[in-house]
């Protein structure tokens, strides 16, 4: 069940106080958030040496398009599991529409459509995800481990992965290089 203050469809930006090196300078697209927990896909880092073509080959998809597109590091949970984040105008079953901002799919059919150049116009592939149990994300937010940013279509799909963290801050008028891990006292 969706929460009134659900963060689904928003972007989490790790703050220097995150305390977990796996999420240092992370930008995570929150795909679901309810009373039971949250799930998101990292959009700021790539899996080194892995391309869309490698994923196509691993599941027998034979199309020839988009084979050299990079694959994002979605998060530390289930790294063998693949996800497709794509524009919500392209319909696939089953898919999760995320707050009308993007859609999340994990089907072989979507990968086949992408490889045949008949899939969604805008998309990215990811391996793994980030997950939070009941109340865990809320506790991390209260501890100032994350900053919440609004979805921005151009930043989401067009900016290079390595620049998405700083770019999302910049879109809000925040210079990410000036964010400190801790504050002083007066």
Distance set, CA 179 to CA 154, 182, 184 (Å) = 24, 9, 13
Instruction: Report residue 58 as tokens.
Output: 């691993």
Domain range for 19 is: 11-177
Let me know the angle formed at the C-alpha of 92 by 65 and 94, rounded to the nearest 5 degrees.
125
Q: What is the pLDDT of residue 178?
A: 86
- The CATH number of the domain holding residue 91 is 3.40.1740.10
Q: What is the pLDDT of residue 183?
A: 60
CB 74 within 8 A of CB 55: no
Is 30 domain-assigned? Answer: yes
Is 141 domain-assigned? Answer: yes
Is 90 domain-assigned? Answer: yes
Q: Look at residue 153 and give its three-state secondary structure.
A: helix
Give how many domains the chain has, as a whole number: 1
Is 169 domain-assigned? Answer: yes
Is 183 domain-assigned? Answer: no
Is 148 domain-assigned? Answer: yes
Query: Which stretches of the chain score pLDDT less than 50?
Result: 1-2
Is 158 domain-assigned? Answer: yes
Q: What is the pLDDT of residue 4?
A: 63
CB 43 within 8 A of CB 168: no
Is 184 domain-assigned? Answer: no
180 φ, ψ to 5°?
-100, 155
The length of the chain, given as a count of residues:
186
Q: Look at residue 108 and give its three-state secondary structure.
A: helix
């Amino acid at each position: 069940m969706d929460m009134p203050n659900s963060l689904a469809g928003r972007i989490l930006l790790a703050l220097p106080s995150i305390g977990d090196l796996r999420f240092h300078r992370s930008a995570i697209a929150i795909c679901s958030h309810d009373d039971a927990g949250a799930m998101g896909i990292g959009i700021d880092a790539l899996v080194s040496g892995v391309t869309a073509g490698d994923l196509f080959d691993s599941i027998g998809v034979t199309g020839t398009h988009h084979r050299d597109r990079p694959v994002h590091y979605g998060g530390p949970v289930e790294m063998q599991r693949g996800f497709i984040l794509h524009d919500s105008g392209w319909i696939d079953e089953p898919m999760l529409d995320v707050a009308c901002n993007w859609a999340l799919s994990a089907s072989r059919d979507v990968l086949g459509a992408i490889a045949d150049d008949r899939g969604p116009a805008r998309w990215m592939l990811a391996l793994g995800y980030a997950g939070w149990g009941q109340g865990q994300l809320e506790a991390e937010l209260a501890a100032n481990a994350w900053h919440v940013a609004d979805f921005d279509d151009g930043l989401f799909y067009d900016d290079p992965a390595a620049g998405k963290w700083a770019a999302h801050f910049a879109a809000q008028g925040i210079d990410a290089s000036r964010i400190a891990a801790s504050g002083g006292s007066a």
